[in-house]
Structure 1
């Protein structure tokens, strides 16, 4: 084998080792974000559940509106503020 090919093979091997070390470091750093990602997953699951059970949620909302109008209006205000906050964050992200 020529010396150039040996040098190339050694360089390739060193690069592969370095890549493996960098990959391990990246995985280690990404572990810090695991709680954030699990929280986002829980929120996404909740939104999916709410979308699939919209008639039930509407019925509960109407019942609360009839039974306790002040509480319903208070929660409606909180929901509106939350919705506006969500829209602003969504615009910032995109």
Structure 2
């Protein structure tokens, strides 16, 4: 290849690279809203970890004002937690090759 061919190839590659960057940018806009929601949820969780007194206070108020409902929902949440843990153990026990098929 002579110098002119190399310069032309370089220009084509640079143009293609710019085109691909624009395509990636436009296609990435699809993820903007879901990722913003994830960021917001993460911020809420961080706030809850820094301020545990508010959810605990709400829980205490619920137990005091509506004990029957609090016990009912507590049982449902406990059952859900146990089922989640059981599913995680089951998934971990399945060999990786079988999960990828």
How high is the TM-score relative to the length of structure 2? 0.68
Q: State which drifts further: 18-27 or 54-63.
A: 54-63
Q: Cα RMSD between the aligned structures? A: 2.8
1:72 to 56, 70, 73: 70
Aligned-residue offset at 1:56: 2.3
| Cross-structure match for 2:55 | 57
After TM superposition, where is structure 1 displaced by more than 6 Å over at least 4 residues in a row? none
1-structure distance, mates of 2:12, 2:81: 52
| Cross-structure match for 2:94 | none
Aligned-residue offset at 1:71: 2.8
Per-residue deviation, residues 48-69 of structure 1 (Å, max 9, x unmatched): 1111111222122112112211
Residue-pair matches, total: 87
Aligned-residue offset at 1:36: 0.9
1-structure distance, mates of 2:32, 2:50: 27
How high is the TM-score relative to the length of structure 1? 0.72
Aligned-residue offset at 1:35: 1.3
Q: Which has the higher contact order (CA 8 A, sep 6+)?
A: 1
